[in-house]
Amino acid sequence: MASLGKLVLLMFLGALTCLCQSQEPEQCNLYCARSGSASGEPVQRRGPPGAPGKQGPPGDVQQCDCCSSKGEVCQRLRELTEEVESLRTVTRRSSFRSCKEIKTSIDGSATGLHKLVGPNGNEHTAYCDMDTDEGGWTLVASIHENNIGSSGRCTVGDRWSTEQGNVALRPNGDGNWENLNVFGNVVAATSDDYKSPGYFEIAGRDLMIWQVPNNTPLQNYNTSTYLKYRTTNGFLSQYGGNLYHLYSEHYPIRSGVYNFPSDSGPSVPVTFDKGDANSLHQHFPPNAKSETEPGFIQFRAISSRRYAFALCPGVRNKPTFNYPSQSCLGSTGATQGTYCGDFSGWLHDGHAVGSAWSADQTLLSTTFLLFYR
C-alpha cells in the first residue's frame, strides 16, 4: 500500500509540474500562496480580481518559483520518481515466465534458483542454467530410480511410469508425461522425481538433458554433471513448445495401442556440451549398443510387444530393435514385469550390472535433468 501511495503522490506532483510550466502562472502562484514559496518567504495573498483591463500582447511561457530547481517540491518529486522507478524495476523482474526471459532482461544473471511466474500468476522457484550456450535454460523435470531392483518396479517413487504396480488396466501408467501434475522439489531433484509447472507452462524451442549422479546437491548440479547434450533445431516449437503438448497431443504413452516400429516418435539430433556420443553410449547395456545410435533423443519408442516407452536419452533405436526397454526411460503400467519402472529394463533380471541387457552402475545411479529454452 505504501508503494501505491507513492504512485498517487507522484501523479499529483507530476500534474503540478505541468501546471507550473503552463501559461497560467496565476494558478501556480495561487498554489504557492497556499503552501508557501520555495524559499520559505511568506507570500501575500491576492484579493478579488478587479475590472478587466485592456488586453495586452501575448506573454512567454513562465515557470514559477515554487517549482524551480531549488524548490523542495521539485526535489521531492525527483526522489519519488527514482523510488517509483525502482519499484517498477522490481515488479518487472518478478514477473518472468522462464529463465530465458530473465537472461535477456537482467545483465549478469547467474546460474541458480530464480522465481518464475506462470500465466495464471502462480509463482514457483526454478533452477536456471545461465551458462550453457549463452544460458537461459529452465529445469522443468528430473527422472531417477529410487529402487532399481525387481522388488521396486512400478512402486512408490516411479512417477514417470506408475506407482500403482504392473496392471494391464493402466495402459498409460500414471500419465505424468502428458498431464498437469506437479511433484518433487527443485532443491532435491536428484534425490526424488521432480516436475515443475514449467513442464507444461513454458513454451520453448529446445530440450537439454544433464546426466547427474543421484543425490547431488543443488549447488553442484552444474559441476557434477558428467554428460550435457541439447537439441538445436527448435523442434519443440513444432509440438506446442514443451513435452506436455508433445505427449498429450502428438505421441501419447499407451501400451497395447501402437504398432512396432511405425508408431514410434521422432528422433532429434543433439549437440554435446560435456562428454560425447561415445562416452554416453558406453554406459548402456552391452547388447543394446549395436541396436542403438548415440547422438539423438528419441520420443515414444514402441516395442514388438506394443509396449510404449517415453524417452530415449542420448540415443535413437534402429528400426529393427524391438527392445526399447533397454534404451529408454518411462514405461507404462501395462508392461512385462521386467520392463516396468522409470528406468524400464536397464537392470534386467538374471543379468549382472554392466553385462548383457543391463546398464552399468553409473547409468543406473543417474538422475536425468530436463531443461527447456
Q: Residue 111 pLDDT more than 90?
A: yes
Count helices and strands in the chain by DSSP H and E runs: 10, 13
Structural contact between residues 238 and 280, judged by C-beta atoms closer than 8 angstroms:
no
Q: Which domain range does residue 358 map to?
A: 143-372
Residues 30 and 168 in one domain: no
Residues 77, 199: one domain? Answer: no
Domain check: are 32 and 156 in the same one?
Answer: no
pLDDT at 247: 98
Q: What is the mean pLDDT of residues 292-298?
A: 98
Higher-confidence residue of 292 and 80: namely: 292
Tell me, rounded to whole angstroms, the distance of Cα 212 from its chain centroid: 19
The tens digit of pLDDT for each residue in 122-131 reads: 999 999 999 9
Same domain for 202 and 316, yes or no, is: yes
Residue with cell 496565476: 26
Domain co-membership, 360 together with 289: yes
Confirm whether 122 is domain-assigned: no
Question: Where do the H-state alpha helices sit in the chain?
Answer: 2-20, 25-35, 72-93, 99-105, 198-201, 221-224, 243-245, 277-281, 286-289, 361-364
- What does the pLDDT read at residue 153? 78
Mean pLDDT for 101-107 is: 96
pLDDT number for residue 331? 86
Residue 120 has pLDDT above 70, yes or no: yes
21 and 160, same domain (yes or no)? no
**Quick one: pLDDT at residue 87?**
47
**Arithmetic mean of pLDDT, 90-106:** 82
- Least Cα distance to 109 among 132, 136, 83 occurs for 136
Lowest-pLDDT choice from 44-48, 109-113, 365-369: 44-48
Least-confidence region, from 37-41, 91-95, 273-277: 37-41
What does the pLDDT read at residue 13? 44
Whether 51 maps to a domain, the answer reads no
Residue 48 lies in a domain: no
pLDDT of residue 210: 98
Residue with C-alpha cell 554392466?
A: 354
Per-residue model confidence (pLDDT) at position 4: 43
The answer as to whether 44 is a domain residue is no
**Are residues 88 and 203 located together in one domain of the fold?**
no
pLDDT higher than threshold 80 for residue 159: yes
> Are residue 83 and residue 173 in the same domain, yes or no?
no
**Pick from 63-77, 173-187, 312-326, 336-350: least confident:** 63-77
Do 213 and 345 fall into the same domain?
yes
Domain identity same for 84 and 191: no
Q: Which whole number is the average pLDDT over 118-137? A: 96
Is pLDDT at 351 greater than 80 in this prediction?
yes
How many structural domains comprise the chain?
2
Contact status, residue 278 vs residue 331, Cβ threshold 8 Å: no
Nearest 5°: CA angle at 61, between 58 and 62?
A: 120
Please indicate, yes or no, whether residues 74 and 166 belong to a single structural domain of this protein. no
**pLDDT tens-digit series, residues 176-206:** 999 999 999 999 999 999 999 999 999 999 9
Evaluate whether residue 134 is within a structural domain.
Answer: no
- 364 with 343: CB under 8 angstroms? yes
Asked, for residue 88, whether it belongs to a domain, the answer is yes
- C-alpha 142/C-alpha 189 separation (Å) is 6
Does the pLDDT of residue 12 top 90, yes or no?
Answer: no
Domain for residue 325, yes or no?
A: yes
What length is written for the chain? 373
At residue 147, the pLDDT reads 80
What is the percentage of the chain residues whose pLDDT exceeds 90? 62
CA 333 to chain CA mean position, Å: 29
Task: Tell me if 185 is assigned to some domain.
Answer: yes
Q: Do 76 and 177 fall within a single domain?
A: no
For residue 308, is pLDDT > 90?
yes
Whether 306 and 256 have beta carbons less than 8 Å apart is answered as yes
Determine the average pLDDT of the residues in 218-246. Answer: 98
Q: What is the mean pLDDT of the chain?
A: 83
The per-residue pLDDT for 50 is: 73
